[in-house]
Amino acid sequence: MDEELISDWFDAYSEDIYKFLVYYMSTPDVEDLVQEVFIKAIDRYDSFKGDSSPKTWLISIARNLAIDEARKRKRQDWRKLIKTYDYKTETSPEEKQLANETKQQLHQAIAKLKQDYRDVVILRGIEELSVAETANILKWPDTKVRVTFHRALKALKGKVKEGYHESQ
Amino acid sequence: MNLNDDELQKELKDLKTSASLDPQKKESMKMAIIKHAKKKRKRSKLKQSAIWLSTAAALLICGVLVTNIINNNQSVLPTEEHDTSEYNESTSEKAQEPADNSDDTAETFEDSQVPEELSVTEQATETQTIMNEGMAEDVTVTNYTIEPYGIRYQMGAFLGNYTTEDQTVRHYSDADNAWITIEVMEDAKLNDVVSETQSEYSGDFNYTEEPTATSEDENPYQGIRQHFSDPPQGYYAYQIGENVLVIQYEYVIEAGDGMGPRLQALRESIE
């Protein structure tokens, strides 16, 4: 893989990869993982068949790295993660606090989901990738993506409720 | 908080963070990545050159050998046909030498007994339960025997493809993104084989495990293992009588789910 191509890919997709890893690891401290994703892409470029877009290929590498990393250590940092959200200037402090609480509850609920559900919620729900792109990353058939997303939303609602009751 | 599906999906979309990479950090990351790409390209060029050179050398050696054989065969004829001719006397003497040499060569081939060629016989399959990421998973395994050593092992269907070459049997996945080789080193000592095998792993790994004794719970043979990454790879070497069995593996991380339990099942199946 030549330097020009990886440089172009980095310019085009590093922010997408960063955001995906932030959702996946529940912390904004994932810069080291972003670099690792691109280094892995260079090392494994021979296995990139070109039948998927570079973005979905890079996200699938990022996902594998994130799974490994999450096994090694828990690095969730909700407070730091919530701080990454910007609000319109006219939003009142009370509204901001309420929105932040909702976001934190959702993030915590997503982190509690089982692997398949978490994958599909992040890719389809937050990243808004298409069914085909999600299927490509997860190496699932399209129908499995649709069904699992539906089930994952149901499970997520349950987790959010649980979290809400626990916090009361 | 009580949400319906649409509200929940809207809330999920709102989770899109505005966080972005620090521009300075981003630039230094880009530099490091480009540097890695350059290094990688240089390394692969060197590797390619080495392959070309070794292929050329092999072809050259083959060429020289073939020429010698042809010359030897041709030089025998004139000595037989013209051994009475005064003119050819000296030539025939000279020609005799290579003819003798060819006898020597034949003897050398007979003397150096190559080890009996390794072959693998495939036997019955059975279902086995392995623990994959804490979940019990039923996998189909096939029993294999390495002849003439009578070493038996089991391999899962995931790595059911195999080829044998020299003293090695290589099992690999359909996508060839995971493989295991099993090699029998005849009349060898474990420590010698381990140091030789170790020298194959001189790459730039971000994780290198120290050579460690294998678990006696897995099989009764004395052995050494060592793991490296990335990509994940390593070896297990076992002293089985006078021979050493070397198992080497490598897989891409995407194919890695279940490789650990599969390798463990293989180690436990060695008899």
Distance from CA of A143 to the nearest CA of B (A): 19
Distance of CA A51 to the CA centre of its chain: 22
- Could you report the predicted ipTM of this complex, rounded to two decimals? 0.81
Q: Write the single-letter amino acid at A6.
A: I
* Residue A120 pLDDT exceeds 90: yes
Confidence of residue B263 (pLDDT cuts 50, 70, 90): confident
Return the pLDDT at B106. 42
Domains of chain A: 1-77 (1.10.1740.10), 91-168 (1.10.10.10)
Query: Residues B141, B156: contact at Cβ < 8 Å?
Result: yes
Return the pLDDT at A168. 63
* Residue B181 pLDDT exceeds 60: yes
Return the pLDDT at A74. 63
Q: From CA B42, how far away is CA A151, in angstroms rounded? A: 48
How distant, in Å, are the alpha carbons of A6, A34, B14, B42 from that of B34? 7, 14, 34, 12
Contact A164 B8 (CB under 8 A): no
Helix (H) or strand (E) holding B134: none
Round to the nearest angstrom and report the end-to-end CA distance of chain B.
60
Return the pLDDT at B225. 92
Return the pLDDT at A163. 75
Contact B17 A125 (CB under 8 A): no
> What mean pLDDT do residues A79-100 have?
80
Q: From the list A7, A18, A85, which residue is nearest B30 (CB)?
A: A7
Best A43, A71, A83, A115 residue to mutate vs chain B (most B CBs within 10 Å): A43
Return the pLDDT at B261. 82
| DSSP-based helix, strand, coil % in chain B, nearest 5 | 45, 30, 25
Angle (deg, nearest 10), helices A31-43 and A54-72: 120
Residue for token digits 């003798």? B100
pLDDT tens for A61-79 read 999 999 888 877 665 677 7
Query: Residues B207, B229: contact at Cβ < 8 Å?
Result: yes
Q: Within a 13 Å sphere around the CA of B30, how many CA atoms are in the beta-carbon half?
A: 18
Distance from CA of A33 to the nearest CA of B (A): 11
Return the pLDDT at A39. 93
pLDDT tens for A7-50 read 999 999 999 999 999 988 888 889 999 999 999 999 988 888 77
Confidence of residue B114 (pLDDT cuts 50, 70, 90): low
Token pair belonging to B153: 């092992």
Token pair belonging to A150: 């539906």
Q: From CA B169, how far away is CA B158, in angstroms rounded? A: 16
Contact B9 A39 (CB under 8 A): no
Query: Residues B193, B182: contact at Cβ < 8 Å?
Result: no
Question: Which residues from A are below 8 Å from B8, CB to CB?
Answer: 153, 156-157, 160
**Window from A124-128, B3-7, B214-218 with minimum mean pLDDT:** B3-7
* Residue A144 pLDDT exceeds 80: yes
Best A102, A134, A149 residue to mutate vs chain B (most B CBs within 10 Å): A102
Return the pLDDT at A127. 92
pLDDT tens for B11-70 read 888 888 878 898 999 999 999 999 899 888 888 778 888 888 888 889 999 889 998 888
Partner residues linked to B132 by β-bridges? B135
Confidence of residue B215 (pLDDT cuts 50, 70, 90): confident
Q: From CA B217, how far away is CA B201, in angstroms rounded? A: 27
Partner residues linked to B168 by β-bridges? B165, B183
Environment class of B134 (CB within 10 Å of its CB; exposed 0-12, middle 13-18, buried 19+): exposed
| pLDDT averaged over every residue in chain A | 88
Confidence of residue B246 (pLDDT cuts 50, 70, 90): very high
* Residue B97 pLDDT exceeds 60: no
Partner residues linked to B121 by β-bridges? B145
Q: What percent of chain B has pLDDT over 70?
A: 83
Return the pLDDT at A153. 93
